[in-house]
Amino acid sequence: MIMDPFDEPGGDRPLLEVDQLAVEFRTDDGVVRAVNGVSFAVEAGRTLAIVGESGSGKSVTAQAVLGLLQTPPAKITGGTIKFRGVDLLTMPRREHRAVCGEHIAMVFQDALAALNPVYSVGFQLGEALVARRGMSRRAARARAVELLDLVQVPNSAQRVRDYPHEFSGGMRQRVMIAMALAMEPEVLIADEPTTALDVTVQAQIMRLLAEIQAERDMGLILITHDLGVVADVADEITVMYAGRAVEQAGVHELFAAPAHPYTEALLRSIPRVDRKGQELEVIAGRPPELTRIPAGCPFHPRCARAQDVCRTDPPPPVLEVAPGRRSACHFAADLVAT
């Protein structure tokens, strides 16, 4: 039996602390540096949003935390991942996965692909309870009904017998949230929880996550490419680009005065009701291939503010440029001041 090192309260430290995490993939095309020195912390009852375009390293970071990376080709080459002060990376892999299963859970972005089509949702909700808590199938089924009630699935006693294809996209996402909450985790990671959902259902899912977090005092990590999705629910935001954190700030400070040109560009690309009829702004170019990250600042080929130093010198590490504001831009202080 694997011993749980977190049976006792964890004190005042953050629930989850990631420090200088680095992950690479060795492929036939070269070494892909998917995550390069990312750091953040999540406290009980607080929400951290990790934002960036596809390929920025958001999901790889989450998978590293949970021990879900396939090795090889993936390899964690540096950093620490501490839960309540204990470095998960120093644990044997099996113990790491077991601890994460109890204390840290994840809502995957493609609910239809994540759910097994040949088993009822009740069976899948109860599977972890049977395996980890030793519940009978009858007790696990009853708990599955309670979990569906928690995530506001109507007629839960009947729907627990249904299969994933019998649910709408929004209801499948609710089932995924219920599955993640089955073990009553202290940290919940939601990876693109509103992907492919219409805006009304997106708002319902985000509100549901916020309500459950408040009830349970969980730490919540929201991974998304859309700053607009997290504007009303996040406490802090980490913006990632090309495997690096480029800006970290409180949500209000970041929206009021971004300290990195990439964050500026993301904010400009959010559709706004006061710009009806105007062409939607886009970020020119495309993210770099992680096997061939350009010299200097990785964002400089797409940056309207780029100067010669941006093309030749690596950006500084994420440093404090104002109280509660951290940025990895040569001109961050000027951006905050304007």
* Extents of the domains making up the chain: 261-338
Q: Is the separation of the CB atoms in 64 and 100 below 8 Å? A: no
> What type of residue is 273?
V
Nearest to 241 by CA among 198, 288, 305: 288
pLDDT, residue 2, reads: 45
d(CA 68, CA 45): 25
d(CA 2, CA 101): 12
Average pLDDT of the residues of the chain: 87
Whether the predicted pLDDT of 146 surpasses 50: yes
Average pLDDT of span 308-335: 86
pLDDT, residue 125, reads: 92
Of the two residues 217 and 321, the one the predictor is more confident about is: 217
Beta strand 16-27 pairing with 30-42: antiparallel
Query: pTM score, two decimals?
Result: 0.89
Of the two residues 324 and 155, the one the predictor is more confident about is: 155
pLDDT, residue 4, reads: 55
Question: Per residue in 186-237, pLDDT tens?
Answer: 999 999 887 777 788 888 888 888 888 988 899 999 998 888 888 888 999 9
Confidence of residue 3 (pLDDT cuts 50, 70, 90): very low
Question: Per residue in 87-122, pLDDT tens?
Answer: 999 998 888 888 887 899 998 877 778 899 999 999
**Residue 273 has what DSSP assignment?**
G
Q: Is the separation of the CB atoms in 49 and 237 below 8 Å? A: yes
Question: Per residue in 237-285, pLDDT tens?
Answer: 999 999 999 999 999 999 988 999 999 999 988 877 667 777 778 888 8
